[in-house]
Amino acid sequence: MPTTLVVKTPAKNAETVRRITAGAGALRGEFVPKRERGYVFFPVTKKIELSVPHSFVRAKLEARVKPKDFGKSLAGFLSGKELAAAVKGFDVVGSIAVIQVPPALAGKAKRIARALLAAHSRVKTVLQKTGGREGAFRVQRVRWLAGAKSFVALHRENECVFRVDLREAYYSPRLSNERARVASLVKSNENVLVPFAGVGPFAILIAKKQPSAEVVAIELNPAGAKLLAENVVLNRVSERVRAVKGDALKLLASLEFRGWADRIVMPLPHSAKSFLPAALKALKKGGAVHYYRIVRKAGAKETIEKEARAACAAAKPKRKFKVLGFRRVVLFSPSKAEYVLDFKVF
């Protein structure tokens, strides 16, 4: 791996440093930032002033896939019109790349996948999205295209490692920074509930970053719950994370968790609204909620705040809420995006 100038900062300041360096045009896009022992290393072109603790050092970082090399490979068998419509981005989970191929290029999907393998040494398998997130467990449909025929990966993120089966459980590496942000907000001795926990990225990172926290992770999908339990052991947080296979709607409203949580993380953006009344029952007075929703970009903040306000007004007894923060997490479509509303309930 090449050595380059980086800004080293505590993980809790990562989003601030990323935003400032990107805004100053100093963030280098050809290298992948890395997390190591509580710090994040961002590749930069020059030293700039920052308002948070940091230092400038040299470090080895992984080079990103070079789009021009991938593009050259595609140009060898795609026409100019096809090249304009071809896959532009992809997710990498461990050594598996997941791509979306336009319907017009379906017949050339495997050749596109082989070009990606040739351009990106880290990728050993290429899968294709063949539909949306479907079924009760919202699992992404995929099929194998090229490379090693596997759907299982070990993915490293934020000093954690996750075993993921992309046929059986949903996982998005695009939420890495968001998971780090939430984990940095958890305070000493908090009780944290993570319904819709998936394979455990939020719950396990929280336990790693705040060892005094008690975390309960709930997952209904049997395959996801099994991977969650395995990842708790793999990351050595068994004493701090309780993995529960069950229905979040019932568990959040149960007597066991009534008024138990200091913080609830709700990463189910398509339908978290349906679970918000139950979540409020589990939340202590003064507790915080991280509420994820996919909505239209126009009026997004007003839409999501209205949902939170309505749920609090309908609670028995009524609850008041205060907005702590609002941000866009990832783009979902040209007209929609995933957002998170952080709010406190009284």
Task: Indicate the domain borders of the chain.
Answer: 3-63, 67-150, 172-345
For residues 277 and 311, the answer to whether their CB atoms sit within 8 Å is yes
- Report the distance separating Cα 312 and Cα 11, nearest Å: 33
For residues 162 and 193, the answer to whether their CB atoms sit within 8 Å is no
How much of the chain exceeds pLDDT 90, in percent?
Answer: 74
Count CA within 13 A, CB hemisphere, residue 109.
19
At how many degrees (to 10) do helices 176-185 and 14-23 cross?
130
Single-letter amino acid, residue 133 = R
Give the pLDDT of residue 251.
97
Averaged over 28-51, what is the pLDDT?
A: 90
* Residue 69's pLDDT band (cuts 50, 70, 90): low
Model pLDDT for residues 144-167, shown as the tens digit of each residue: 999 999 999 999 998 899 999 999
Flag the least confident range among 20-24, 38-42, 199-203, 293-297: 20-24
Model pLDDT for residues 87-121, shown as the tens digit of each residue: 667 899 999 999 989 888 999 999 999 989 988 88
**Fold entry, domain 3-63:** Alpha-Beta Plaits (3.30.70)
For residues 148 and 124, the answer to whether their CB atoms sit within 8 Å is yes
Q: Which CATH superfamily is domain 172-345 in?
A: Vaccinia Virus protein VP39 (3.40.50.150)
Model pLDDT for residues 266-322, shown as the tens digit of each residue: 999 999 999 999 999 999 999 999 999 999 999 999 999 999 999 999 999 999 999
* Residue 80's pLDDT band (cuts 50, 70, 90): confident
Averaged over 38-54, what is the pLDDT?
A: 93
CATH number of the domain located at residue range(s) 67-150 in this protein: 3.30.300.110
92: alpha, beta or left? (left if phi > 0; alpha if psi -120 to 50): beta
- Report the distance separating Cα 346 and Cα 177, nearest Å: 28
Structure-token pair, residue 271 = 């339908």
Give the pLDDT of residue 73.
77
Averaged over 19-35, what is the pLDDT?
A: 86
| pTM score of the predicted model | 0.79
Give the pLDDT of residue 86.
78
Q: Across-strand partners of 199? A: none
For residues 2 and 18, the answer to whether their CB atoms sit within 8 Å is no
DSSP 270-321: TTHHHHHHHHHHHEEEEEEEEEEEEEESTTHHHHHHHHHHHHHHHSSS---E
Instruction: Please tell me if the domain spanning 67-150 has the same topology as the one spanning 172-345.
Output: no
Q: Are strands 96-99 and 91-93 parallel, antiparallel or unpaired?
A: antiparallel
